[in-house]
Amino acid sequence: MTATTVRPPPTKLNNTKPDDLNPAVQHWIDQCIQLCKPDQVYWCNGSAPERQEMFTQGVKDGVFIQLNQQKLPGCYLHRSNQNDVARSEHLTFICTPSEDVVGPTNNWMNDKAAYTKLRPLFDGCMRGRTMYVCSFVMGPIGSPLAKVGIELTDSLYVAVSMSIMTRMGDVAWKQLGDSDEFTRCLHSVGDCNPERRYICHFPIDNTIWSFGSGYGGNALLGKKCLALRIASYLGHQQEWMAEHMLLMGATAPDGEKTYVAAAFPSACGKTNFAMLIPPQKYREAGWKITTVGDDIVWMWVDEKSGRLRAINPEAGYFGVVPGTNYHTNPNAMVTMAKNSIYTNVALLPDGDVWWEGKTEQPPKECIDWTGQKWTPDCGRKAAHPNSRFTAPVINNPALDPAANDPAGVPVSAIIFGGRRSRAIPLVYQAFNWVHGVYLGAALGSETTAAATGQTGVVRRDPMAMLPFIGYNIRDYLVHWFRMRKKMKDCPRIFHVNWFRKDDQGRFMWPGFGENMRVLKWIIDRCHGRAYAIETPLGWMPRVQDIDLEGLNITHEDFLAMQTIDNAEFKAEILSQEELFLKLAGDLPKEMVFQRELLISRL
């Protein structure tokens, strides 16, 4: 099993240490070199030839397997250590002097104690290895919110992935200039032992130390660690927001463009929704969906217009592959067909890849994600349920023209959604911002393979941010309420559930491209031209307000999807206690009030 790279870097590479290195960077890197004691230091420039050289080296080292270059040009397979296939939430810490800063939903470690605990692990951990210096920018260059990070890592897989997922290399040195405002990201795979695995965030020091894992969410430190945990902490201080959301543009037949952000928990279809291809009749009528981002947005209020604007801080997608195919997400299939990394999928005899749900019929045989021979009757999955593709956003045929715009895009709607088999209707709209924040805060979803632990159990996942809020959830919720005060015109807020099942356990709504029908109602609501009725949960479309033509769904079926079963919903409200009790006396008063109102309406 290959988890780490311990060999020297490719000799052909030009090691591009900047001549006039920022002294703060030099000082910090010197300290890390002294601690980790790498055999050599390689400075990445983020260029395409460099990435190619790294792949070539990775193939020699056994980190990558080259895939069929006719079918998948520039694509490689990586198999992770089998104990390292998802985010390790229980090993993720926010480290501050006092526990109150991190609140009841985070694991806390005293910052000094954390450095003391981790320093011996990092001490000498890169002996015989190369330290890759990855300077990167999160956000379009020149954006008011763009942030510089520098990740020092001993993993070639991580360095290559960072070159896909971020704007890496010289652009970052330029953006940083003489400033010492950069996130200090230190990473080592160590010996990839879960007993010695820690993902520690030091928001006050703008620092992340991650040890013992090579998995994306634990190791590509620009993503969850910087762009969500550290960024949410900074956003709270500087009055902007870092959220676990996709961001998409919808162009109507008359050219009107509406941008929508949506927060769904990990592995609940953000990538699919962000890359949605409308049903044929919508396409023929002129509807088009474009992707700005599929996982993270940073949002701020534009002073002039008073509107919420958003950027995607990432430059790549790290998407879940099982279930993805040319029917469920054609744009994703095209996006990952070149210059991409596949992690923990199955390898076919001809060098192509496979995963559950890629084709209706499984292959006769393949090599599974653990490197063993696999046949359909062997009783194991061929691909890991959290197997992933890592692909540059520029591969996306539906990339929004403004995806790289430093000024971002205006957000008209925010959608919250979870994976819920029961009780939760297909779609409804919050009465107002405060009610919408309550809906987001009370969001529940069935757990998935994106994090280690049991899957399929409902847990509260406020704003789909439970594992990513880098500070106290009480302050986070208050921050959401306060942001409204800065806006002249705020986005409308909605709640969706694509996953409701009937009594036979069948999905009631077809999902995927057909979600366009729900999206259209949402867009029309934002522009004040769609009808809705008031219900205890919020504004709901009547059956005639959602286009069901061409679907095998009767009016009764639709009403069943929208049903509010009072008893089930009361149980839902009770299960919100799981979160609210943790917050106890700290629960913002708006939340208590909204909950009381809901109970009385029901």
- By CB under 6 A, residue 314 contacts ligand OXD: no
Whether 95 is a known active-site residue: answer no
Q: What is the DSSP string of 248-306?
A: EEEE-TTS-EEEEEEE--TTSSHHHHHT----HHHHHHT-EEEEEESS-EEEEE-TTT-
Strands of 158-236 (E only): list them: 167-168, 183-188, 198-202, 207-211
Contact of residue 89 among Mn ion, ligand OXD, none (CB under 5-8 Å per partner type): none
Q: Least distance (Å) from ligand OXD to the CB of residue 201?
A: 16
Q: Least distance (Å) from Mn ion to the CB of residue 467?
A: 9
Residues 447-486 that bind ligand OXD (CB under 6 A): 450
CA gap 435, 493 in Å, rounded: 9
CA gap 225, 213 in Å, rounded: 13
Q: Least distance (Å) from Mn ion to the CB of residue 368?
A: 25
What Å distances lie between residue 381 and 65, 89, 349, 375, 576, CA to CA? 20, 24, 17, 10, 34
Identify which of residues 22 and 266 has a Cβ nearer to Mn ion in the complex: 266
Residues 337-356 that bind ligand OXD (CB under 6 A): none
Identify which of residues 45 and 92 has a Cβ nearer to ligand OXD in the complex: 92
β-strand partners of 151: 134, 185
The token duo for 77 is 């397979």
Among 81, 266, 395, 515, binds Mn ion (CB under 5 A): 266
Q: Least distance (Å) from Mn ion to the CB of residue 247?
A: 13
Q: b vs e for 287-313, b when ≥16 Cβ sit within 10 Å of the residue's Cβ?
A: bbbbbbbbbbbbbbbbeeeebbbbbbb
Q: How many residues bind ligand OXD (CB under 6 A)?
A: 7
Which x/- pattern, by CB under 5 A, does the window 137-166 give for Mn ion?
Answer: ------------------------------
Residue 72's nearest CA partner among 397, 307, 335, 450 is: 335
Identify which of residues 294 and 352 has a Cβ nearer to Mn ion in the complex: 294
Q: Least distance (Å) from Mn ion to the CB of residue 244?
A: 6
Contact of residue 374 among ligand OXD, Mn ion, none (CB under 5-8 Å per partner type): none
The token duo for 20 is 């006039």
Contact of residue 87 among ligand OXD, Mn ion, none (CB under 5-8 Å per partner type): ligand OXD
What Å distances lie between residue 488 and 288, 306, 433, 482, 522, CA to CA? 28, 5, 12, 13, 20
Q: Least distance (Å) from ligand OXD to the CB of residue 395?
A: 18
Identify which of residues 268 and 537 has a Cβ nearer to ligand OXD in the complex: 268
CA gap 456, 574 in Å, rounded: 19
Contact of residue 129 among ligand OXD, Mn ion, none (CB under 5-8 Å per partner type): none
Among 214, 217, 249, 470, binds ligand OXD (CB under 6 A): 217
Identify which of residues 173 and 468 has a Cβ nearer to ligand OXD in the complex: 468
Side-by-side strand order, sheet with 373-374: 353-354, 346-347, 366-367, 373-374
Identify which of residues 152 and 496 has a Cβ nearer to Mn ion in the complex: 496
Identify which of residues 266 and 312 has a Cβ nearer to Mn ion in the complex: 266
CA gap 598, 573 in Å, rounded: 9
- By CB under 6 A, residue 216 contacts ligand OXD: yes
- By CB under 6 A, residue 335 contacts ligand OXD: no
- By CB under 5 A, residue 295 contacts Mn ion: yes
- By CB under 5 A, residue 461 contacts Mn ion: no
The token duo for 421 is 């088999």
Q: Least distance (Å) from Mn ion to the CB of residue 151?
A: 18
CA gap 174, 171 in Å, rounded: 5
Identify which of residues 269 and 362 has a Cβ nearer to ligand OXD in the complex: 269
What Å distances lie between residue 170 and 14, 50, 150, CA to CA? 13, 13, 12
Identify which of residues 321 and 508 has a Cβ nearer to Mn ion in the complex: 321
β-strand partners of 130: 40
Among 122, 282, 318, 509, binds ligand OXD (CB under 6 A): 318
Contact 30, 41 (CB under 8 A): no
β-strand partners of 96: 110
Length of the chain in residues, anyone?
Answer: 602
Q: Which of 36, 44, 95, 268 is catalytic?
A: 268
Which residues lie below 8 Å from residue 188, measured CB to CB, with a gap of 6+? 36, 121, 122, 125, 126, 153, 154, 155, 210, 211, 212
Phi, psi (degrees; rounded to nearest 5) at 357: 90, -5
Q: How many residues bind Mn ion (CB under 5 A)?
A: 2
Contact of residue 9 among Mn ion, ligand OXD, none (CB under 5-8 Å per partner type): none
CA angle 79, 80, 81 (to 5 degrees): 130
Contact of residue 594 among ligand OXD, Mn ion, none (CB under 5-8 Å per partner type): none
Which x/- pattern, by CB under 6 A, does the window 171-210 give for ligand OXD?
Answer: ----------------------------------------
Residues 243-302 that bind ligand OXD (CB under 6 A): 266, 295
Nearest residue to ligand OXD by CB is 266
Contact 312, 253 (CB under 8 A): no
- By CB under 6 A, residue 87 contacts ligand OXD: yes
The SS3 assignment for 38 reads coil
Contact of residue 150 among Mn ion, ligand OXD, none (CB under 5-8 Å per partner type): none
Q: Which one of the spans 80-88, 287-295, 334-342, 356-364 is the region binding Mn ion (CB under 5 A)? A: 287-295
Please identify every residue annotated as catalytic.
Answer: 268
What is the contact surface with Mn ion in residues (CB under 5 A)? 266, 295
Binding site for ligand OXD (CB under 6 A): 87, 216-217, 266, 295, 318, 450
